[in-house]
Amino acid sequence: MILLQHLVDNTFRRFRSQTANLLTILNLGLGSMAILFVFQSQFGTAVALICAAAVFDRFDGKVARKMNIESEMGKQLDSLCDLISFGLAPALLIFQSTLVEFGVAGSLATVIFIACGAIRLARFNVSEQSGYFVGLPITGAGCILTITYLLQGVIEPHIFMFIILTLSVLMISSFRVRKA
């Protein structure tokens, strides 16, 4: 009986220690699914999936802090998943839905957004700021870019080029954003 109790306690402790990482993986899964829907030209579904990924991203860090299970591995995993869900997925959404008509220029703008997101995440992972972010977080940039999809037909296609490049610059800029 004691052995069984020890086994249950140990399993519970392991599961508990991975709760935040599970939320992070759900973020990744939703972002990855969004990319697959972009490839199928189901842009509305992709928008919904990226927004859902943002919800899980919002809670993974909070859960880790609340449960006192923060880890360096969790921080790195979160950044890798964020690059997919808020860098690659939104960039491909806007590229496939609008920027593709700009040819090489649209492709370059898309790659610049993804690269700036990667730089932003790498800078965050090696910095020691507390209480604020330096530059626009990739989650914010990716969500803004995703929501702009809803402006299709309302604003001219070249404005999307301006938006994606502006968000790219904001991610790698040096202004401070207070953490919520």
Please name each of the domains of the chain with its CATH number. Answer: 2-178 (1.20.120.1760)
Closest CA to 145 of 40, 51, 59: 51
Q: What DSSP assignment string belongs to the chain?
A: -HHHHHHHHHHHHHHHHTHHHHHHHHHHHHHHHHHHHHHTT-HHHHHHHHHHHHHHHHHHHHHHHHTT---HHHHHHHHHHHIIIIIIHHHHHHHHHTGGGGTHHHHHHHHHHHHHHHHHHHHHHH----SEEES--HHHHHHHHHHHGGGBTTB-HHHHHHHHHHHHHHHHS--EEE--
pLDDT tens track, the chain, 180 positions? 666 565 555 555 555 556 778 889 999 999 999 999 999 999 999 999 999 999 999 887 777 778 776 777 888 889 999 999 999 999 999 999 999 999 999 999 999 999 999 999 999 888 877 778 889 999 999 999 999 999 999 999 999 999 999 999 999 999 887 876
This prediction has a pTM of: 0.88
